[in-house]
Copies of this chain bind each other. A is one copy, B any other.
Amino acid sequence: MKETEEITKALLEFRNERDWEQFHNPKDLALAINVEAGELLELFLWKNHDEANKEKIKEELADVFAYAFLLAEKYNLDIKEIVMEKIIKNGEKYPVDKAKGTAKKYNEL
């Protein structure tokens, strides 16, 4: 079994033992990703780039991943595949010669 499938499997077991599938519709999973992303962001609030607490980041980032894996599972998406596809797509939006060294959005390049 692939590594990302193992992670998803563990998350589904945890969910199913608690009979939580009934709550985990795609819309609420997208909400959950935002809620956890917000908690992750709070760890950096009023702080310089690298002042956040690593232990807490680990936990909040794990929550973001957990709901992202669960949403991917809802749509039967393969994590590696969708990220690789997006990298190719972004390569077209951000060609190296134009995008190198600048943080501009593709529509401003």
Contact = CB atoms under 8 A, between A and B. Distances in A.
Contact of A64 (B10, B11, B64): B64
Interface size class of A (residues with CB under 8 A): 35 or more
B100 A83 contact: no
Given A37-B33, A68-B68, A23 B61 contact: no
Given A11-B83, A61-B77, A87-B11, A26 B3 contact: no
Given A22-B101, A23-B103, A58-B77, 20 more contacts: A3-B3, A7-B83, A10-B87, A11-B83, A17-B96, A20-B103, A26-B44, A27-B52, A30-B37, A30-B40, A31-B41, A31-B44, A34-B40, A35-B41, A47-B103, A57-B71, A59-B86, A62-B86, A63-B86, A66-B83
